[in-house]
Every structure is written in structure tokens, then in C-alpha cells.
Amino acid sequence: MRRARFLLPVLALCLSAVAHAETTSLKVQKAITATDAYGQESVQVTLAPESVKALAAFTRDRVGKRIEVRAGDTLLTTATLQSPLDGPSLSLAPGTLGFDGVSAPEMARRLSADGTLTIADAKAEPPPRSRSSVFQR
């Protein structure tokens, strides 16, 4: 019985840690719009050096898990990590409706002005119509 009284608080603490989604803020050094050979626009983001380390640390233990990338309240993408993101730049491709209805050029302007991306554990699957993607360049 004594062991059970000890284990229950430990178990509750572990479960609350699992349920809590982590979030990391990343400083954007530069954001520009690029267009690929098929005419698809994307936002090319270069991170500040301290944010490169923060992104690598955040994604290292999340391979195979879903994350979301936001600019303020705007969801840019939700993706399943295939590998840790450890480089200085990201390519954010909007879904068919843009980034929550915001175009790639406008999002690049917002990121250049505000300078912050937020990366977090994903809460749920995104709706199929708004899927976008993030790639390491």
C-alpha cells in the first residue's frame, strides 16, 4: 500500500507531462517568397543562429511525431517529422487555400516584420483541404 501511495503521484506527474504540449519560439532572420518550376509559391525562412539550435533540440526527439508551425495565431503547417530539423533554413509551402487564407508573399512580409515562428507539438490532424508542408533546405 505504501508503494501505491508513492507511485500514484509519480504516475500523475508523468501523465501530465505527456499531455502538456511543448512550444518553442524561433527568431526569423529573413523570409522571402520563392516560386518553383511549376509556379507553386513558398516562403523561404532563414532562422537566427540561436533558433537553429532551438529547432534542432525541439525536433530531435520528435521524429515520427506531428508538429505545427505558426506565425502568431496563423497556422502555417502541420507535419510529421521525418528527421530532425537542424539547418538554418526552412521552406514553407502553403496548402490550396494559402496559410489560413494568407498568400505566400503576404506571409513572407509578416514574418519579415514580426520575425517570430512558433513550433509546437500538434494538437490534432489538420483538415485535408488546408494541408501545407515544411521542408529543410
**CATH (domain of 95):** 3.30.1360.200
Q: Which range of residues forms the domain containing residue 38?
A: 23-121
Confidence check: pLDDT of 50 > 90: yes
- Asked if residue 114 is part of any domain, the answer here is yes
Cell numbers 494538437 label which residue? 123
- Asked if residue 102 is part of any domain, the answer here is yes
- Asked if residue 134 is part of any domain, the answer here is no
- Asked if residue 13 is part of any domain, the answer here is no
Confidence check: pLDDT of 137 > 50: yes
- Asked if residue 91 is part of any domain, the answer here is yes
Task: Please tell me the total count of domains within the chain.
Answer: 1
**pLDDT tens digits, residue range 55-83?**
999 999 999 999 999 999 999 988 899 99
Cα distances (Å, whole numbers) of residue 88 to 27, 48, 50, 72, 133 = 11, 7, 10, 21, 17
Give burial (CB, 10 Å; 0-12/13-18/19+) of 68.
buried
